[in-house]
Structure 1
Amino acid sequence: MKSQTYYCLMLFFLASNALANADQLSGSHLNVCGDSIDWEPYTYVQDEEVKGFDLDALNEILPKERITFDFTMSSWSRCLKGTKSGDFQLAVSATYSDERAKDFLYTTWYYATTPSYVFKKSKFAKGLKITQGSDLEAYKVCGIFGYNYSDFGLKTINQTAHSMHELVEELNADKCDVIIVWKEILNGIKSIWGIDYLGDSLAIELVPNMSKHKFHMLVSKKYKYKDQLKQLLDEGLVKYQSKSF
């Protein structure tokens, strides 16, 4: 009986403490960051305003708890560095890696993109022989600086480009055989800005037998109420998982 009473008291104490912390999170202000380059339709700047799917999700979830936030667009490396140090409490649109998990709490995933690759039709008229991501190892592959391509299982990716524009330029200049992209991002750039990077000269193919890349938000482990913020976002972001572009 004594041990059962002690157990009940502990549950009551933990529940009360959690409610207190949740109350402290309510009414707070967050500094949020995102990547400023080529991540349409998820995050982008138009007419000097941050727009996109990420902002829509935060505007749906946070105000209900009287939480305000500022949204800063920066380089992805600066966003990660600032969230790790605690200057930002939250970073949006991040893929999972064990290394990042040391410094951040991952929310549940809330959207997914399709791993794809682009090549010049004139160079590979019959296409590439790709059955899985690692098959791209037979070609010179380029990607964007700071992006996580670990799911592809490639040993070498040239990541000197800092934007989709630079990445496509590298392909057209034959600095790469193939570039790694996400179908939804190219569609977003075309839909929002009217820029068709493929045109008539480039072809895009989905990577066979490869799962979609799931994207999460990153909560800074330096934030005092990190666990409460993660729980709030987890509950709110689930509804977006079926959304596709």
Structure 2
Amino acid sequence: MSKCCLSWVVFLCLGLLNSLNVQAAGLEGITIRFCGDGSGWPPYTYIDPKEPGVVKGYDVDVIKEILESHGIIAEFSMPSWKQCLERAKDGHAFQVALSSSYNDKRAHDFIFTRKYYSSVQSYFYSTERFKVRPDIKKASDLFLFGQVCGRYSYNYEGTGVLKNDQINMAAKSYTALVSRTLNDDCAFFIGRPSILLGFRLMEAKLINANEISYAPIPNAKHDDFYMLISRNSPYADELKRILDEGIERLEKSGRLKEILDSYYIKMQS
């Protein structure tokens, strides 16, 4: 290789390295605003009633561990889930929506990070209406008993066995879902035991074992959960790289499980 060609190779390599360093350094000191579901998504995101306005949870701990080493400031807010998605898509008020499952519309509107936890859906029912567990052999059997209910703006298609348009998604809180099921408006509601039990972290007991019971939806897949990065953020690509690498590192080290387990322990106390 001639000296001229060698010089060009060195120049290009140095230029690429410098570009990467500038890009990474470009996020140092930047504030990234994250949003979650304001009605609570414990143990992943929730507001501690003892510290009003302070967002806590697994998501918060994971993000802080990843971003602090890069000098990036994270701020957390809890509007309604619908507002979170709309305003994060816009990219001005928020740049990232937390704890989202996959659907095609979200994939069009956002850049997905790596998954950082998984969860499974169950069906919940009134023990007054069903003295014994109903005979549900497949997901479609749920609809034989009446209306199946869910949360407004939520996504139930990650189960692989339910479609959003099959479910009455009028309820804007889990409290409303429980109430409608106890009042016989809903034969079942769809939810995640980890979330319903997680409300203990907010000093709320949403389900009483004497009134509400639950069972896994047959053949339902585990839903993977992601952070959704606004495509309108000027930092979108670099932020995805930082978050993905951080999630992978914490997963391989066992730290993700360690953080989540610490919340499960709190939920038992």
Output the TM-score relative to the length of structure 2: 0.82
- The match for 2:31 is 29
CA distance in 1, matches of 2:82, 2:47: 18
User: 1:176 deviation in Å?
Assistant: 0.5
Does residue 209 (structure 1) correspond to residue 216 (structure 2)? The answer is no
Q: Partner amino acid for 1:20?
A: V
Residues 1:125 and 1:85: Cα distance change in structure 2 (over 3 Å): same
Does residue 52 (structure 1) correspond to residue 57 (structure 2)? The answer is yes
47-56 vs 5-14, which deviates more? 5-14
Retained in 2: the 8 A contact 1:77–1:146? yes
Retained in 2: the 8 A contact 1:106–1:219? yes
Residues 1:61 and 1:73: Cα distance change in structure 2 (over 3 Å): same
Q: Partner amino acid for 1:205?
A: A
CA distance in 2, matches of 1:7, 1:43: 48
Structure 2 unaligned segments of length 5 or more: list them: 265-269
Does residue 199 (structure 1) correspond to residue 213 (structure 2)? The answer is no
- The match for 1:78 is 83
Q: Partner amino acid for 1:99?
A: K
- The match for 1:227 is 237
- The match for 2:110 is 104
Q: Partner amino acid for 1:183?
A: P
CA distance in 1, matches of 2:9, 2:121: 49
1:44-64 deviation per Cα after TM superposition (whole angstroms, max 9, x unaligned) = 111211111111112111111
User: 1:196 deviation in Å?
Assistant: 4.5
Does residue 182 (structure 1) correspond to residue 187 (structure 2)? The answer is no
User: 1:129 deviation in Å?
Assistant: 2.6
CA distance in 1, matches of 2:79, 2:111: 20
175-184 vs 17-26, which deviates more? 17-26
CA distance in 1, matches of 2:16, 2:83: 36
- The match for 1:125 is 131
* Cα-Cα RMSD: 2.4
More helix by share: 2
| 1:234 alignment partner, SS class | helix
More strand by share: 1
CA distance in 2, matches of 1:98, 1:11: 38
1:164 equivalent among 169, 174, 179: 174
Q: Partner amino acid for 1:218?
A: L
Q: How many residues align?
A: 244
CA distance in 2, matches of 1:219, 1:8: 35
Retained in 1: the 8 A contact 2:46–2:202? no
Residues 1:19 and 1:198: Cα distance change in structure 2 (over 3 Å): same
Retained in 1: the 8 A contact 2:197–2:205? no
- The match for 1:143 is 150
| 2:29 alignment partner, SS class | coil
User: 1:203 deviation in Å?
Assistant: 1.0
CA distance in 1, matches of 2:140, 2:24: 45
Identity over aligned pairs, percent: 34
Runs of 4+ in 1 over 4 A off after TM superposition: 4-16
Output the TM-score relative to the length of structure 1: 0.89
1:48-92 deviation per Cα after TM superposition (whole angstroms, max 9, x unaligned) = 111111111121111111111221110011111111111211111
Residues 1:123 and 1:25: Cα distance change in structure 2 (over 3 Å): same
Residues 1:199 and 1:14: Cα distance change in structure 2 (over 3 Å): same
